[in-house]
Amino acid sequence: MAGTAAASRGRPQRVSMQEHMAIDVSPGPIQPIHLISDFFPHFYPFSRPTLRAPGPRPAVTPALRSAPQPQPDPEPEGDSDDSTVLGTLEFTLLFDADNSALHCTAHRAKGLKPPASGSVDTYVKANLLPGTSKASQLRTRTVRGTRGPVWEETLTYHGFTRQDAGRKTLRLCVCEDPRLRRRRRAPPLGELRVPLRKLVPNRARSFDVCLEKRRLTKRPKSLDTARGMSLYEEEEVEAEVAEEERGRILLSLCYSSQRGGLLVGVLRCAHLAPMDANGYSDPFVRLFLHPNVGKKSKYKPSVRRKTLNPEFNEEFFYAGPREELAQKTLLVSVWDYDLGTADDFIGGVQLSSRASGEGQQHWSECLGHSDRRLELWHPLDGAPFQLSD
């Protein structure tokens, strides 16, 4: 016995790991710790830690520091209605009143909420409301693999007037590109809406706005959905919808004193009505100077395929003195080309001294000033032309 005690005093005593973790290393009598996580809090990603109040402890000397109090872990982020969770979008708007254009520059997005797959390949889609979805839909390029994409790309709406600025709203969506991942189209990661009546003409305004969840509204029952039309706001007046269905055309007129005739330029169309089942049209323009005979009175620019905002930039010439042209009427009509069947009439406009509104003003100013090029947007009328011989 004495030899065994002497041998044990010569070697250090071994302590198991469980006993070591249960020993209070602070000075004073050794006391077991009731819950070690009270002194060494950990982060539990899958469950919320339940805090327990420590049991009664003996009094310690004043020189000793009290044990640290447990702090609750922050609640992990999940699905929330807070719009800040969806991220923010930085963009700039400029209403160019002189050229009747709205420029939207998408700069960057921050803190986007990733989809279930974890990958983020995003682009910005813009729509003017109310209006046909595809006629006013523009998009940026796709930026791959980041929650903070930078586009620095400008989207331009041509034919945007002061009347549009007073009653339209710009809808911007940050969307994931489904084509790069070979999956079905997902809902937007977030969207925002800007009333354009707040814009000051010819003055750029920058925005840094939080994205919100997509808002769905019913479409008017009177809308012809079979032709691919779509409206996002149901409180708009149906008359405005009918006007916007036709679209607009940008024409230039110039009476050339050297050539002795009228130069008519067909520049572009905007927001045309979709006439095909795919939601687009194949538009072309017909020009006819009435009354007149022969092929020189009729012109037809080339067809633009699958677009609702075609650009033509073609010019045609009608010979004749100014006094004779003042008694005539220029008929401009926009059609949808159909192979094997009759072409569909989209809309038209009449320019003459007997016309009303902008058609009469544009015609009179052109013939009243020689060698002066005048450009003007004209709304298309859905009613067919009614002219007498």
Say if CB 328 and CB 269 are below 8 A apart.
no
What average pLDDT score do residues 311-321 get? 93
Give the 3-state secondary structure of residue 341: coil
- pLDDT score of 151: 96
Query: Which region among 57-61, 134-138, 204-208, 276-280 has the lowest average model confidence (pLDDT)?
Result: 57-61
Give the 3-state secondary structure of residue 256: strand
Number of residues assigned to the chain: 389
pLDDT at position 209 over 60 = yes
- Please choose, from the candidates 207, 210, 211, 209, the residue with its C-alpha nearest in 3D space to the C-alpha of residue 92: 207
What is the DSSP secondary-structure string of 145-194?
Answer: S-SS-EEEEEEEEET--HHHHHH-EEEEEEEE-GGGTT-PPPPPSEEEEE
pLDDT at position 360 over 50 = yes
- Please choose, from the candidates 357, 387, 358, 354, the residue with its C-alpha nearest in 3D space to the C-alpha of residue 374: 358
Averaged pLDDT of the chain: 77
Residue 329 phi/psi, 5° resolution? -130, 130
What average pLDDT score do residues 1-11 get? 55
Long-range residue pairs from 199-203, CB within 8 A, at least 24 positions apart, any chain: 199/93, 199/95, 199/165, 200/95, 201/95, 201/96, 201/97, 201/162, 201/165, 202/94, 202/95, 202/96, 202/97, 202/98, 203/94, 203/95
What average pLDDT score do residues 195-203 get? 93
Q: pLDDT (tens digit, 9 = 90+) per residue, 76-100?
A: 333 444 444 689 999 999 999 999 9
- pLDDT score of 336: 94
pLDDT at position 333 over 80 = yes
Q: In whole angstroms, what is the distance from residue 37 CA to residue 268 CA? A: 72
> Which residue would you say has higher pLDDT here, 132 or 243?
132
Q: pLDDT (tens digit, 9 = 90+) per residue, 255-300?
A: 999 999 999 999 999 989 888 888 889 999 999 998 875 667 788 8
pLDDT confidence of 51, banded at 50, 70, 90?
very low
Structure tokens at 95: 């209403």
Give the 3-state secondary structure of residue 197: helix
Q: Report which secondary-structure segment, H or E, holds 108.
A: strand 101-110
What average pLDDT score do residues 101-117 get? 86
Q: What angle do CA 82, 88, 92 make, to 5 degrees?
A: 140
- Ramachandran assignment for 384, one of left (phi > 0), alpha (psi -120 to 50 degrees), beta (any other): beta
What average pLDDT score do residues 187-199 get? 91
Say if CB 282 and CB 348 are below 8 A apart.
no
Burial class (CB in 10 A: 0-12, 13-18, 19+), 101: middle
Query: Which region among 63-77, 187-201, 248-262, 350-364 has the lowest average model confidence (pLDDT)?
Result: 63-77
pLDDT at position 47 over 60 = no
Query: Which region among 97-106, 225-234, 308-317 has the lowest average model confidence (pLDDT)?
Result: 225-234
- pLDDT score of 361: 92
Structure tokens at 195: 């009333």
163 contact partners, CB below 8 Å, separation of at least 6:
none
> Which residue would you say has higher pLDDT here, 134 or 88?
88
Alpha helices for the chain (secondary structure H): 2-10, 17-21, 162-167, 238-246, 322-325, 358-368
pLDDT confidence of 136, banded at 50, 70, 90?
confident
End-to-end CA distance of the chain: 137
pLDDT confidence of 198, banded at 50, 70, 90?
confident
6 contact partners, CB below 8 Å, separation of at least 6:
none
The structure's pTM equals 0.65
What average pLDDT score do residues 162-175 get? 92
What average pLDDT score do residues 3-23 get? 59
pLDDT confidence of 65, banded at 50, 70, 90?
very low
Q: pLDDT (tens digit, 9 = 90+) per residue, 368-389?
A: 989 999 999 999 988 877 655 4
Q: In whole angstroms, what is the distance from residue 147 CA to residue 14 CA? A: 54
**Tokens 């005539």 belong to which residue?**
328
Q: What angle do CA 356, 346, 353 make, to 5 degrees?
A: 20
- pLDDT score of 45: 45
338 contact partners, CB below 8 Å, separation of at least 6:
282, 344
